[in-house]
Chain A
Amino acid sequence: MRALILAEHAEGTVSKAGLEAAGLALALAGTRGDCAFALLGKGAHEAARELAVTYGVPAVAVLGKGLFPPTSWAWARAVWDVFGHAPPEFFAAPQTTLMSEILPMLAARAGGFYASGVEDWHAGQDGPVFLRAAYSGKYAMETAPRVRPVFLTVLPGAFAPLAPVEGAEARVTEARAELPPSPVEHAGWSRPLESGLSLALADSLVAGGRGLGGPEGVDLLRQAAALFPRSAVAGSRGACDAGWLPASSQVGVTGATVSPKLYMACGISGAFQHVAGMRGAGFVVAVNLDPKAPVFLHADVGIVEDLKVFLPLLLKAAGENP
């Protein structure tokens, strides 16, 4: 086995982001037989069977006490307990909260190489070269391993998910992890303060970021939003953290995922955690003072202006245009 895919699973299935990580793993390993899924915790068996049958990739169900609910402490230990004695060349996982803890933990333990949020890769002279965002998204960084194993988290949406294959059932095996008592205890879940329901239902979103400069900027967003049908005001984490907008209007990985017909990003830099939540929008307009703001890489129309100057002018243009 050359590449091990780690993924969260629920009810026997792995998320799309997990299958995308598997897509990269397959590209790196070459053949499905050289890859394997590792599934841990409750339902690991069902998930392993389902994946092996659907994708023709061998799957290992890792069982043991303390693997559910998942904690990075237990999962990282279990993976190393089972695979550490003969580690594959690559470990790939989706860039989720849990996997963003586990993969670097494993890399440190193994003395391996870690790259997070991998968006692309190519074969270089001395092995694979991975591409990922850096500097608030203003640059892409090429990073390549000097050592093995290589531990990767994969940016959701960046790679095509592993495709199913018919009649290529692969082997399912079982492994047991022996874990010492855990110093981490899961003590419950709570939902976000308010779901982003109104955001999800809106056809038009006018979103603001730290560039709003203060609560006054929000008034401008509201007025601009009134120009568009079924509209709502949304924001980046920057604007919500600043307290100018409620946390419930946050778009992105730790907020709502939206796909309105129109998304107008004002004073938002376009960090990948924000873009992840609005990539599916129909038409994207970005207003930003900085022509190099990464938000423009994800916009159909770009306007390099001060939003406090530009939004009033847009309202005026609308007024002139009955």
Chain B
Amino acid sequence: MNIRVCVKQVPDMEGALGINPETGLAANLAGQERMDRASAHALEEALILKDQDRGHTITALTLGPPSHEPVLRRALAMGADRAVHLLTEDAPRDHLAMARALASALQAQTPDLVLCGAMSEDLMAGATGPMLAALLDVPFASGVVELRASGDTVEVVREVEGGARETLLLQLPAVLGIQSQARQPRYPTLTHMLRAGRQTIGTVSIPALETAGLPPRLKEPLQGRAVRFLTGAPEEKARDLFAILQGKGLVCAR
């Protein structure tokens, strides 16, 4: 089976973020970027399929500027067979434009299975998978936590609201949105790392993309509650918190 995995490089969200005035997008102030977690889970599922059947070929695909090459090296180091970089000038942010670029790259040689993350950590939209499926005119399922490929179908278990699980049978080719889950994405192995460093990455230049939306603008997030930050030494904060909770009758009576 010919498996494509869409992987994405995102700013490391743990550290301090700032807005890049040129792109209007957020960046890690220390320049730290990494593979999006959902992408990593998608790649892991492809690698598990390959562990079971060495006949599968896994191609990692990313759409982004040249600075996003490390995410493909990482994918190769984790065990992807090949990598293709769809080169854009800036980090893409328009869902339709991204899906169209990916679809045109995939249409040339329609893969059997396309795996995406259910939702990326940066744009948090979960749009690429379903849009890609619609453009390729193939079935789609999101929230996927288990998959088994057999013949020309894939059986998936996907999570929905409240944690209930739905089993679906999809005819191949299909696009799946992979949900994060207990099977953690593997670490690169030394042999794969050595190979990844040498391997050439295919590149395709993507012309300036026509967008469905105006350039997005980032703002401070909406506040749900008026938070009061406790101050002072950690011991003081602990005493204050306990007193607050006690005052509200929220601690065990003793």
When the two chains form the complex, which single residue of B138, B180, B213, B217 contacts A145, counting CB atoms closer than 8 Å?
B213
Instruction: List A contacts of B184 (CB < 8 A).
Output: 241-242
| Separation of A256 and B180 alpha carbons in the complex (Å) | 17
Quick one: closest A residue to B179, CB to CB?
A254
Q: Decide if B237 touches A143 in the complex (CB within 8 Å).
A: no
How far in angstroms is the closest Cβ of chain A from B239? 5
Comparing B67-75, B80-88, B155-163, B191-199, the segment that makes contact with chain A is B155-163
Residues of chain B with a CB closer than 8 A to A114's CB: 95-96, 125, 127, 131, 212
Distance, CA A304 to CA B228, complexed state (A): 11
- List chain A residues, Cβ under 8 A from B163: 192-193, 196, 247, 250, 254-256
Most B-side CB within 10 Å, residue of A139, A185, A196: A139
Complex contacts, A98 vs chain B, CB 8 Å: 160
Asked, given contacts A105-B134, A283-B248, whether A192 binds B155 with beta carbons under 8 Å apart, the answer is no
Q: 1/0 per position for A127-160, CB-CB distance to B under 8 A?
A: 0000111111111111111110000000000000
- Bound complex: CA of A288 vs CA of B233, how far in Å? 15
Interface size class of A (residues with CB under 8 A): 35 or more
- A317 engages B13 (CB within 8 Å): no
Which residues of chain A are near B157, meaning CB under 8 Å?
190
The reply to whether A142 and B217 contact each other, CB–CB distance below 8 Å, is yes
| B184 CB to nearest A CB, Å | 7
B91 at the interface (CB under 8 A from A): no
B26 adjacent to chain A (CB < 8 Å): yes
**B155-197 with Cβ < 8 A to chain A:** 155, 157-171, 174, 179-182, 184
Please state if A108 and B213 are interface contacts (CB–CB under 8 Å).
no
**Interface hits, B214-254 → A, CB 8 Å:** 214, 216-230, 234-235, 237-239, 241-246, 248, 250-254
Asked if A229 is at the interface (CB within 8 A of a chain B CB), the reply is: yes
**Closest residue of chain B to A102, judged by CB?**
B130
Determine the chain A residues whose CB is within 8 A of the CB of B170 once the complex forms: 183-185
14 intermolecular pairs with C-beta atoms under 8 Å apart: A102-B130, A106-B134, A107-B96, A116-B127, A131-B222, A134-B216, A135-B17, A137-B124, A242-B182, A254-B161, A283-B250, A313-B234, A314-B238, A314-B241
User: Measured between alpha carbons, how far is A229 from B246 in the docked complex, in Å?
Assistant: 12
Q: How large is the interface on B (under 10, 10 to 19, 20 to 34, 35 or more residues)?
A: 35 or more
Report A79-110 CB contacts with B as 1/0, cut-off 8 Å: 00000000000000000111011101111110
With A101-B142, A111-B212, A144-B214 as known contacts, state yes or no: A298 contacts B130, CB within 8 Å. Answer: no
- Interface positions, chain B 124-146, Cβ under 8 Å from A, are 124-127, 130-135, 138-143
Q: Which of B19, B122, B164, B245 meets A191, CB within 8 Å?
A: B164
Given contacts A97-B161, A135-B122, A310-B234, 12 further A-B pairs with CB under 8 A are A100-B130, A114-B131, A116-B126, A120-B222, A134-B122, A143-B214, A183-B138, A184-B171, A189-B164, A190-B167, A262-B245, A301-B229
Query: Which residues of chain B from 86 to 136 have any CB-CB distance to chain A below 8 Å in the complex?
Result: 95-96, 99, 121-127, 130-135
* Chain B residue contacts of A243, Cβ below 8 A: 182
For chain A, residues 7 to 24, give those with C-beta under 8 angstroms from any C-beta of chain B: none
Please, how many angstroms separate the alpha-carbon atoms of A139 and B246 in the complex? 34
- Chain B residues within 8 Å of A317, by CB: 235, 238-239, 241-242
If over half of A's interface residues share one DSSP class (helix, strand or loop), that class is named, otherwise mixed; here it is mixed
Docked Cα-Cα span, A146 to B211, in Å, equals 8
- Pairs A-B, 8 closest by C-beta atoms: A192-B163, A313-B238, A183-B171, A108-B131, A108-B134, A105-B134, A104-B130, A97-B160
Q: Is B209 an interface residue (CB 8 A)?
A: no
Q: Give the interface segment out of A32-40, A46-54, A55-63, A68-76.
A: A68-76
Assembled-state Cα–Cα distance A73/B220 (Å): 36
A305 touches B17 (CB 8 A): no
CB distance from B127 to the nearest CB of A (A): 5
- B228 touches which of A112, A191, A302, A314 (Cβ 8 Å): A302
| Complex interface: chain A residues within 8 A of B64 (CB) | none
* B204 in the interface (beta carbon within 8 A): no
The answer to whether the Cβ of B53 comes within 8 Å of any Cβ in the partner chain is no
Contact, CB under 8 Å: B160 / A135:
no
- B22 in contact (CB, < 8 A): no
